[in-house]
């Protein structure tokens, strides 16, 4: 399932950029795989943050 996002803010530093994307999706109960992209090749996986409502649990993040 693709999660469509929009870039809502960008802060540029000398050695990197911080990009804030925002998207919304409503899911039925159960297990789901969400794909967000395309993302930069040099993405720092540890910098990815997600927020949700309810009792969701992120099991993994894969950056290809």
**What number is the average pLDDT over the span 45-56?**
79
Q: What is the pLDDT of residue 14?
A: 94
CB-CB contact of 23 with 4 (8 Å) = yes
Phi then psi for residue 47, to 5 deg, are: -90, -5
Q: 64 pLDDT band (50/70/90 cuts)?
A: low
Answer whether residue 11 shows pLDDT above 90. yes
Q: What is the pLDDT of residue 36?
A: 80
First to last CA, the chain: 16
The model's pTM:
0.63
Joined tokens for residue 29: 């109960």
Q: 39 pLDDT band (50/70/90 cuts)?
A: confident
């Amino acid at each position: 399932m693709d999660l469509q996002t929009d870039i809502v803010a960008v802060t540029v530093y000398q050695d990197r950029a911080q990009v804030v994307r925002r998207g919304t999706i409503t899911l039925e109960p159960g297990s789901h795989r969400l794909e967000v992209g395309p993302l930069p090749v040099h993405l720092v996986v540890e910098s990815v943050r997600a927020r949700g409502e309810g009792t969701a649990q992120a099991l993994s993040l894969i950056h290809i």
